[in-house]
Amino acid sequence: MKGLRWRFPEAGGVVLLRERILRALGRVLPKVGHGILALVVLGLLGLLGAWIFLGLPSRGDQALAVFPEPGDGVPWVLVQLEEKGLSRESLADLAGGLGRLGQEDRELDLPALLAGQVRRTALFLPFGQEGNPLGVFLPEKGELDSLRRGQVPASWTGGGERPFRYEFDGALGAFRVLDAREDPAGFLALEGERVLFARSQEDLEAMKQVAAGAKKSLSLRWELEPRWRGHLLACDGGWLDRASGEKDSPSRGAPLFLEMAWRYLLPAAVPGPGGPLGEAKWRVRGASFPWGEEKPESLTWNRQPFSLGDPPVLALGVNLPKMGEEDLRRFPGLDRLKGWLEELALPKETIGTLLRGPLVLSLGGKTQVLWFDLPGFLADFPGRGEAGQALADAVWQKLFLGTKPTALEGYDHGGATELPFTFLAAANRSDALLGLAKPEGIRPLSPEGPPFGGETVRGWGWIYADLPKLADTLGELTALDELFTGQELKNPFEEQAGDALRGFLRTLHPFLLVWDRPDGGTLKWYGR
């Protein structure tokens, strides 16, 4: 909602009220969302990268550590896989979903084919235009014997409509690989019991130098659960630090790393459709968390009295520690929220109470703007007592100029209205709600439903996303943005990118990510 402005005429008094409300909400709600995005963008990139490989087991193995260290500023994903079964479509979905390759790009076809044939694989995937994918494969003994005789295993040709052809280059000591169009698909070289893959001779030579000890390699020694069967390391190349750090900081552009280890749950542990399919542990390295006066404290979230949009599509909870003025300025979304609360003329003590403790944001349910049903947005401040009640009263008194709302069942302060759009601000002693949502489209936290599925969740924060539902919601969010900004989507490439992202999200599963420590936590993904 950028610069909220309606495109249809109304009576003068209602217009003034409408503009005042929309300007206030437009300053706060999107900025809160942008702050959340800045906190989780690295994690989501890594999770999307990991998702394609979840369940493909691995263990740390330095026999696979032959990737040259990438240059500064290059974002990349390194994943180690064991066993067979990675499809070309899965790897292509990963690359396409993260925006590195177009639908017609075929440079991942060969490593995806080989990863589905060999017993162990490591893949290095740089993003942007900073390099090509690299791979290391440990074949079965019979495949090794064939390669040593100068013969490529028949299963490595791919067959069908997209076969590969191999030509051995004695001078290079490697196979040149051509695709079905006779275009170069890369190079394969046998080094001991491993096979190296590169798209160019230069990259292949660099890998050989690493294998010979002449160059330093990226490490595949895992810190998290080294005995678990899947591992991933993602680096943002310093992108997040450059985007959100101080312009004159000498350390600006410092990279952040996301390490993840995962495993599938045993079939007996999966209760049925919608049950957990697997679990992961993750850790962020290289990040500093400027909390200030206090560190965040863990909560048992399934016992907190909060509500969500129903059904929840995207939700986030965080237990805010006490932060001073300088600390809040480091979090743009919270700083904007503080400024908005000050505009409501709330006392300083009340604002301090609202900005400390659990905060839950959710996208779900519906809000109505004229005849349009659009995604609902809800902010919940559990356990704020009189401060939450004062917030609800101030919204109606200051923002809606004393308009009397329709009472909301279970809440003795504030309420809801449907004009000029569906909006609610309501509170009782244990809970305070604020959002663009129909009252019938919100519900208290369900003991068995999403986001926690009946499990005990303890930590200082969490994110839940039903990614297939989010894919459908993205189109509605675009319509909401167009409605408020008065600007239609003009760029056909943006529309195509949106279609590609929605298609990618529909292939994924709902997940719950929990921070049980400021720099890491757990992840579970669920059946659909």
Structure-token pair, residue 295: 């560190």
Residue 142 pLDDT level (bands cut at 50, 70, 90):
very high
Phi, psi of 502 (to 5 degrees): -60, -40
Question: Does 194 score more than 60 pLDDT?
Answer: yes
Helix axes 12-51, 88-97, angle to 10 degrees: 140
Residue 409 to residue 204: CA distance in whole angstroms: 67
The confidence score (pLDDT) of residue 39 equals: 38
Give the three-state DSSP class for 161: coil
Question: Does 69 score more than 60 pLDDT?
Answer: yes
Residue 14 pLDDT level (bands cut at 50, 70, 90):
very low
Residue 463 to residue 447: CA distance in whole angstroms: 17
Long-range contacts of 294-298 (CB under 8 A, 24+ apart): 294/321, 294/322, 294/323, 295/321, 295/518, 296/320, 296/321, 296/460, 296/461, 296/518, 297/321, 297/460, 298/458, 298/459, 298/460, 298/516
- Among the listed ranges 13-27, 63-77, 124-138, which one has the minimum average pLDDT value? 13-27
Torsion angle of C-alpha atoms 315, 320, 323, 329, degrees rounded to 10: -10
Phi, psi of 483 (to 5 degrees): -65, -45
**What percent of the chain stands above pLDDT 70?**
72
The confidence score (pLDDT) of residue 200 equals: 92
Domain regions of the chain by residue span: 76-244, 293-526
Structure-token pair, residue 182: 């006779």
The confidence score (pLDDT) of residue 137 equals: 92
Structure-token pair, residue 14: 């209602």
The confidence score (pLDDT) of residue 99 equals: 43
What's the pTM value of the predicted model, to 2 decimals?
A: 0.74
Q: Which residue would you say has higher pLDDT here, 56 or 503?
A: 503
Q: Which of 282, 276, 285, 221 is nearest to 50 (CA)?
A: 282
Residue 251 pLDDT level (bands cut at 50, 70, 90):
low
- Among the listed ranges 17-26, 181-190, 389-398, 469-478, which one has the minimum average pLDDT value? 17-26
- Among the listed ranges 95-99, 231-235, 394-398, 450-454, which one has the minimum average pLDDT value? 95-99
Query: Residues, the chain, total?
Result: 528
Residue 112 pLDDT level (bands cut at 50, 70, 90):
confident
**What percent of the chain stands above pLDDT 90?**
34
Residue 143 to residue 156: CA distance in whole angstroms: 10
The confidence score (pLDDT) of residue 54 equals: 38
Give the three-state DSSP class for 522: strand
The confidence score (pLDDT) of residue 455 equals: 87
Q: Which residue would you say has higher pLDDT here, 58 or 275?
A: 275
Question: Does 151 score more than 60 pLDDT?
Answer: yes
Cis omega (within 30 of 0) for bond into 420: yes
The confidence score (pLDDT) of residue 293 equals: 62
Question: Does 335 score more than 60 pLDDT?
Answer: yes
Phi, psi of 312 (to 5 degrees): -70, 130
Question: Does 124 score more than 80 pLDDT?
Answer: yes
Give the amino acid at 224. Answer: L
Q: What is the mean pLDDT of residues 357-373?
A: 86
Residue 296 pLDDT level (bands cut at 50, 70, 90):
confident
Residue 166 to residue 374: CA distance in whole angstroms: 54
Q: Which residue would you say has higher pLDDT here, 253 or 268?
A: 253
The confidence score (pLDDT) of residue 9 equals: 31
How many other CB atoms are found less than 10 A from the CB of residue 400? 17
Residue 163 pLDDT level (bands cut at 50, 70, 90):
confident
Q: Which residue would you say has higher pLDDT here, 517 or 352?
A: 352
Residue 414 to residue 406: CA distance in whole angstroms: 8
Residue 45 pLDDT level (bands cut at 50, 70, 90):
very low
Q: Which of 317, 109, 78 is nearest to 220 (CA)?
A: 78
The confidence score (pLDDT) of residue 490 equals: 47
CB 233, CB 257: distance < 8 Å: yes
The confidence score (pLDDT) of residue 384 equals: 95
Question: Does 157 score more than 50 pLDDT?
Answer: yes
Give the amino acid at 276. Answer: P
Phi, psi of 337 (to 5 degrees): -60, -40
Q: Which of 158, 125, 107 is nearest to 45 (CA)?
A: 125
Structure-token pair, residue 210: 């690493």
Tell me which DSSP letter residue 396 carries: I
Question: Does 474 score more than 90 pLDDT?
Answer: no
Q: Which residue has the tokens 């239609």?
A: 488
The confidence score (pLDDT) of residue 496 equals: 56
Which regions of 10-56 does DSSP assign to beta strands (E)?
none
Say if residue 424 is exposed, middle or buried (CB neighbours under 10 Å; 0-12, 13-18, 19+). buried
Structure-token pair, residue 268: 């007996």
Question: Does 426 score more than 70 pLDDT?
Answer: yes
Q: Which residue has the tokens 């962020």?
A: 284
CB 338, CB 355: distance < 8 Å: yes
Question: Does 64 score more than 60 pLDDT?
Answer: yes
Residue 378 pLDDT level (bands cut at 50, 70, 90):
very high
The confidence score (pLDDT) of residue 136 equals: 93
The confidence score (pLDDT) of residue 10 equals: 37
Q: What is the mean pLDDT of the chain?
A: 77
Q: Which of 169, 222, 202 is nearest to 59 (CA)?
A: 222
